[in-house]
């Protein structure tokens, strides 16, 4: 099977698997990550096929979404085999996905440039305006509040609290979103992340201003 054909099959597969997702991992998240992965790959001289294929399949073994990570990884392996992806490519794609979807998803350094590119593309989609939107969507899905002024801001949650959605959308900025800025790998993504980070800071400033009614007092 040629590479274009494999990619088009991977698109169909991801669409089919994630069509009912309401947790911020829907097909359009995959689409954005795949598009950014291609753009970053072109800038950084990474293998475009590996980056795009890994991006298209990257959330199919996410611990937050699937019953068993091991089983999902097996299923991915079978899919790659059935679509005649070359062995060394399949191994690299599986390694990237396994590292990306590692618990919490954000501790493991990526071994290859292609892994770094996909991780950057996924992290870009977690920040900026889209990152904000996804965080509120995810919170609704989990039944978390948008914000609770009675809860002190916490920068760390236990894995159990995290899994059970004991946070709030606003708190998630302090747990994760604002910490991503220093964790991009490639120069191109580091540049893109700067603007998105500033936008989140502005959003929080405005959110608290409105929450505290300051805009009326100042006038
Ligand atoms: P990805 O798979 O794209 O790396 P995650 O699986 O970590 O992202 O999360 C998906 C989306 O949901 C992200 O935009 C993330 O910020 C948001 N999210 C994840 N965990 C929480 C949480 N505990 N509270 C609010 N939003 C969350
Ligand atoms: Ni993702």
Residue 197 has pLDDT above 90, yes or no: yes
What is the interface pTM, i.e. ipTM, of the complex?
A: 0.94
d(CA 140, CA 168): 10
d(CA 206, CA 214): 10
Averaged over 125-151, what is the pLDDT?
A: 94
Question: What is the CA(58)–ligand 2 centre distance, in A?
Answer: 6
Question: Residue of the nearest CA to atom 1 in ligand 1?
Answer: 122
| pLDDT at site 195 | 98
Q: What percent of the chain has pLDDT over 90?
A: 72
Q: Which residues line ligand 1 (CB under 6 A)?
A: 24-25, 59, 62, 64, 105, 122, 125-126, 131, 134-135, 138-139, 144, 162, 165, 167, 169, 172, 176
**Phi, psi (deg, nearest 5) at residue 203:** -60, -45
Residue 156 has pLDDT above 80, yes or no: no
Averaged over 50-58, what is the pLDDT?
A: 98
Which ligand approaches the C-alpha of residue 126 most closely?
A: 1
Domains in the chain with CATH codes? 1-125 (1.10.3210.10), 127-219 (1.20.58.1910)
Residue 105 has pLDDT above 60, yes or no: no
Q: What is the DSSP letter of 152?
A: P
- Minimum-distance ligand 1 atom for the alpha carbon of 64: 6
């Amino acid at each position: 099977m040629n590479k274009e054909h494999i990619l088009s099959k991977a698109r169909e597969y991801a669409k089919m698997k994630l069509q009912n997702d309401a947790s911020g991992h829907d097909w359009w998240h995959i689409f954005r990550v795949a598009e950014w992965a291609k753009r970053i790959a072109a800038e950084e001289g990474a293998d475009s096929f590996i980056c795009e294929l890994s991006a298209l399949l990257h959330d199919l073994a996410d611990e937050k979404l699937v019953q068993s990570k091991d089983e999902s990884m097996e299923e991915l392996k079978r899919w790659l085999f059935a679509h005649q992806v070359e062995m060394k490519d399949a191994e690299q794609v599986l390694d990237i996905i396994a590292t990306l979807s590692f618990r919490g998803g954000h501790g493991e350094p990526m071994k290859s440039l292609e892994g770094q590119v996909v991780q950057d593309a996924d992290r870009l989609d977690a920040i900026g305006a889209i990152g904000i939107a996804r965080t509120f969507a995810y919170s609704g899905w989990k039944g978390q509040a948008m914000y609770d002024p009675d809860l002190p801001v916490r920068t760390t949650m236990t894995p159990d609290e995290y899994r059970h959605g004991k946070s709030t959308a606003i708190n998630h900025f302090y747990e994760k979103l604002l910490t991503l800025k220093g964790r991009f790998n490639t120069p191109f993504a580091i540049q893109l992340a700067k603007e998105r980070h500033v936008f989140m800071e502005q959003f929080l400033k405005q959110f608290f201003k409105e929450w505290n009614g300051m805009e009326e007092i100042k006038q």
